[in-house]
Structure 1
Amino acid sequence: MERIINNLKSLDAYPKINEDFYNRTLSGGVITLVSSLVMFILFVSEFRLYLHTITETKLLVDTSRGEKLRINFDVTFPAIPCTLLSLDAMDISGEQHRDIRHDIIKRRINSHGDVIEVRQDGIGAPKIEKPLQRHGGRLEHNEKYCGSCYGAEMTDDDCCNTCEEVREAYRKKGWGLTNADLIDQCTREGFFQKIKDEEGEGCNIFGSLEVNRIAGNFHFVAGKSFQQSNLHFNDLVFQTDSYNITHRINRLAFGDYFPGVVNPLDGVQWVHQTPSGMYQYFIKVVPTIYTDIRGRTVHSNQYSVTEHFRNSEVVHFDSVSGVFFVYDLSPIKVTFKEEHISFLHLMTHICAVIGGIFTVAGIIDSFIYHGQRAIKKKKMEMGKFG
């Protein structure tokens, strides 16, 4: 046993010096105090870094398929009434959604921005009270209603029971609905009266869209738009000489919120100064996955944007006045992952701090000590010769 202990002693890399050989100096005490203070400050800094999370960022190729893209928006048009304001969406696959009302809320606002009314389903048809039948005459008791499509019927059995159905029938024919004041359904549902009642008002429209995860666009236009032969027209029933498309984007996000996300269009406002035109936002959507320190994952998106305005002089017959958001998806996906620095990493840094400061402090102390001895020795030699 004693032999083993002696063998272990021979491995001691830190041989001890007898205290009788120690020589403590003032400079050594000052250096020890300063180095201890520096070590404490660096230790606190490393420990605080250990307690806080860091975010690791990676770029990957986006290989996801068949997913949906949720668009959350809140846009205010101070000079377009809610009755005239329409939201449409389409993508490069040809899928189209016109006058979207699902998950959309409109708020009528006056010239001061105060909310007058909240409208969730747009313009709806009231209860039918003896409307005009297709064959002429009014609806009688127990008689099934079948409204006229005013020449736009595709077959002899087609019925148009609402103004919207008449408009859809005209759209399929490629006709403009220019005589809506003579259409019984539109007059009965009070379209024109609503437009007149909302004159001088604005509209705040907000909600969400769920679209295919491919390039496309959604847009806000005045009137009810439709697509015909790949051209985008506006129904002439609501057309005026010009529309003021001044707007403020209160919020526009592609997907759910996650910490650190920046939506560059939030709070953006544009004031219309020309008679009519088209304002376009070209958006590049970057898929993003955020994982917090607890392992919870948020699948969302970031985006960048450029803007362009086409005034009335360059807007052609195949375009309409409105605000268009044209988006495309980036093939690169960004991942953010929150994580802590490992405890072993902390210990490595602390050891490096202590060892490094001790070494540097020892070099400085040795330099000062030997310098002082050299000066003292030189003075003694000069005293002997003197």
Structure 2
Amino acid sequence: MDVVNKLRKLDAYPKINEDFYSRTLSGGVITLVSSAIIVFLFFSEIRLFLYTATETKLVVDTSRGEKLRINFDVTFPVLACSLLSVDAVDISGEQHFDIRHDIIKKRLDIHGNVIESRQGGIGAPKIEKPLQRHGGRLEHNETYCGSCYGAETTDDHCCNSCEEVRDAYRKKGWAMTNTDLIDQCKREGFIQRIKDEDGEGCNIHGFVEVNKVAGSFHFAPGKGIHPSTFIFLDLFSIDTENHNISHKINKLSFGKEFPGVVNPLDRVEWVQREPASIYQYFIKVVPTIYKDITGRKIYSNQFSVTEHVREPDGGFSKSIPGVFFFYDFSPIQVIFTEENKSILHFITNLCAIIGGVFTVSGIIDAFVYYGHRAIKKKIEVGKLI
């Protein structure tokens, strides 16, 4: 009994006999209003508890030796696929000319409808049974060795396709001025293909993987020769001033997609007004890590961009129209982290809501009740007088 009595004395919630309760109309109204407020705040707190907030943190980017995937989807309404090539180069000295793997080209008519899809770069596949150097046909079990038409570097140097002849000429620094005299090019029908596709457009999409260092890539009517600046373009002596590089960027991103990413060049369109123009995009890439609520990490990038158009100035630039993307990397890395409120924080807020509303409503009820009693008492005193 002593223990029970001691516990009874520790009761912080003393009870009032029901005989001393006084229920009022104002108390009922305040109870309904406070209950509605509690319910509203309760569901608001549940919504906040279930909502995933994203916290942003900036750190120094210390990653080294990684690869970068550049995803693109670009449409050229009036430039044929046979002419369009993708070239890339970076400051480490790595060059990729007329990239063909992981890239799809779609021939488009003047209305933008797809005529044909194909994978490949400029030119055509090798001919199956080309001529030998001496002009005769290949016999059974003979090994083909096509002529490089004066561009051979050694006696056993062979050019087995039009593409290899062009590469040999590029290494010599020569220009191919008459492809009709080159058997490989003539039989592959590259010039005829260009004529057949005259007036068509091209959609080119896919991705390229480059080193994670500053560099550039471009879309142009031709194939780059100069290893660092892409100053020369080999086009089989075709006049590049007539090529229109008007384009629409349907999609351009660096790395994987993640929630909330905004690519500022998506759906950007430019129409060429002067012939032989060069359109340049200067891109600042910001390395980004996105951590979702499960702890999974997505390594990606964001970027900002500025644009510049180089109009023909009467110099050498007339022969090199194209769309150039120059990218560099920010030394700062952004980390996005998805977070939810803890269950303890949620319970604490619920207790605060219920206790706070009851306390405030109790104060208001007491103020109304005793104020009403005071007014009533004064009225009664006035009546007695």
Secondary structure of the structure 2 residue equivalent to 1:227: coil
Is there any run of 5+ residues in structure 1 with no aligned partner, and where? Answer: none
Which stretch shows the higher mean deviation, 97-106 or 228-237?
228-237
Kindly indicate whether the alpha-carbon contact (under 8 Å) linking 1:231 and 1:318 is maintained by their aligned counterparts in 2: no
Question: Equivalents in 1 of 2:314, 2:90: separation in Å?
Answer: 24
Q: Deviations over 1:46-94 (max 9, x none)?
A: 1122233332322222211111111111111111101100100011111
Which stretch shows the higher mean deviation, 235-244 or 8-17?
235-244
Pairwise CA distance, 1:314: 7.5
Pairwise CA distance, 1:211: 0.7
Question: Equivalents in 2 of 1:184, 1:355: separation in Å?
Answer: 92
Question: Equivalents in 1 of 2:230, 2:221: separation in Å?
Answer: 17
Q: 1:130 to 1:41 in 2, by over 3 A?
A: closer
Which stretch shows the higher mean deviation, 217-226 or 156-165?
156-165
Aligned to 1:354: 354
Alignment partner of 1:266 is 2:266 = yes
Compute the RMSD of aligned alpha carbons: 2.0
Secondary structure of the structure 1 residue equivalent to 2:240: coil
Pairwise CA distance, 1:128: 4.3
Question: Equivalents in 2 of 1:252, 1:214: separation in Å?
Answer: 18
Q: Deviations over 1:356-383 (max 9, x none)?
A: 1112111211221222122122222322
Aligned to 1:111: 110
Q: 1:69 to 1:335 in 2, by over 3 A?
A: same
Q: 4+ residue stretches of structure 1 with deviation over 4 A?
A: 228-231
Alignment partner of 1:254 is 2:254 = yes
Question: Equivalents in 1 of 2:223, 2:76: separation in Å?
Answer: 16
Kindly indicate whether the alpha-carbon contact (under 8 Å) linking 2:105 and 2:203 is maintained by their aligned counterparts in 1: yes
Aligned to 2:363: 363
Q: Deviations over 1:216-252 (max 9, x none)?
A: 1110000122115756211141333332111111111
Question: Equivalents in 1 of 2:63, 2:318: separation in Å?
Answer: 35
Aligned to 2:187: 188
Question: Equivalents in 2 of 1:207, 1:339: separation in Å?
Answer: 34
Kindly indicate whether the alpha-carbon contact (under 8 Å) linking 1:279 and 1:322 is maintained by their aligned counterparts in 2: yes
Question: Equivalents in 2 of 1:314, 1:353: separation in Å?
Answer: 75
Question: Equivalents in 1 of 2:228, 2:215: separation in Å?
Answer: 17
Q: 1:131 to 1:116 in 2, by over 3 A?
A: same
Aligned to 1:163: 162
Secondary structure of the structure 2 residue equivalent to 1:205: strand
Q: In percent, how many aligned pairs have the same letter?
A: 63
Kindly indicate whether the alpha-carbon contact (under 8 Å) linking 2:240 and 2:319 is maintained by their aligned counterparts in 1: no
**What amino acid does structure 2 have at the position aligned with 1:145?**
Y
Question: Equivalents in 2 of 1:138, 1:128: separation in Å?
Answer: 14
Question: Equivalents in 1 of 2:104, 2:28: separation in Å?
Answer: 74
What number of residue pairs does the alignment pair up?
A: 382
Which stretch shows the higher mean deviation, 36-45 or 364-373?
364-373
Give the TM-score, by structure 2 length. 0.93
Kindly indicate whether the alpha-carbon contact (under 8 Å) linking 2:132 and 2:146 is maintained by their aligned counterparts in 1: yes
Is there any run of 5+ residues in structure 2 with no aligned partner, and where? Answer: none
Aligned to 1:23: 22
Aligned to 1:121: 120
Kindly indicate whether the alpha-carbon contact (under 8 Å) linking 1:223 and 1:239 is maintained by their aligned counterparts in 2: no
Aligned to 1:288: 288
What pairs with 1:144-155 in structure 2 (closer than 5 Å)? 144-155=143-154
Secondary structure of the structure 1 residue equivalent to 2:35: helix
Question: Equivalents in 1 of 2:228, 2:126: separation in Å?
Answer: 33
Alignment partner of 1:344 is 2:344 = yes
Aligned to 1:44: 43
Q: Deviations over 1:239-289 (max 9, x none)?
A: 333321111111112112222222221211111121121111111222222
Secondary structure of the structure 1 residue equivalent to 2:85: strand
Pairwise CA distance, 1:137: 3.3
Kindly indicate whether the alpha-carbon contact (under 8 Å) linking 1:232 and 1:319 is maintained by their aligned counterparts in 2: no
**What amino acid does structure 2 have at the position aligned with 1:355?**
G
Which stretch shows the higher mean deviation, 326-335 or 47-56?
47-56
Question: Equivalents in 1 of 2:264, 2:219: separation in Å?
Answer: 19
Question: Equivalents in 2 of 1:8, 1:121: separation in Å?
Answer: 87
**What amino acid does structure 2 have at the position aligned with 1:105?**
I
Kindly indicate whether the alpha-carbon contact (under 8 Å) linking 1:291 and 1:337 is maintained by their aligned counterparts in 2: yes
Pairwise CA distance, 1:125: 3.0
Kindly indicate whether the alpha-carbon contact (under 8 Å) linking 1:225 and 1:233 is maintained by their aligned counterparts in 2: yes
Kindly indicate whether the alpha-carbon contact (under 8 Å) linking 1:139 and 1:145 is maintained by their aligned counterparts in 2: no
Aligned to 2:308: 308
Select the residue among 139, 142, 156 that pairs with 1:141: 139
Q: Deviations over 1:32-55 (max 9, x none)?
A: 110011001110111122233332
Secondary structure of the structure 2 residue equivalent to 1:79: coil
Which stretch shows the higher mean deviation, 50-59 or 81-90?
50-59
**What amino acid does structure 2 have at the position aligned with 1:309?**
V
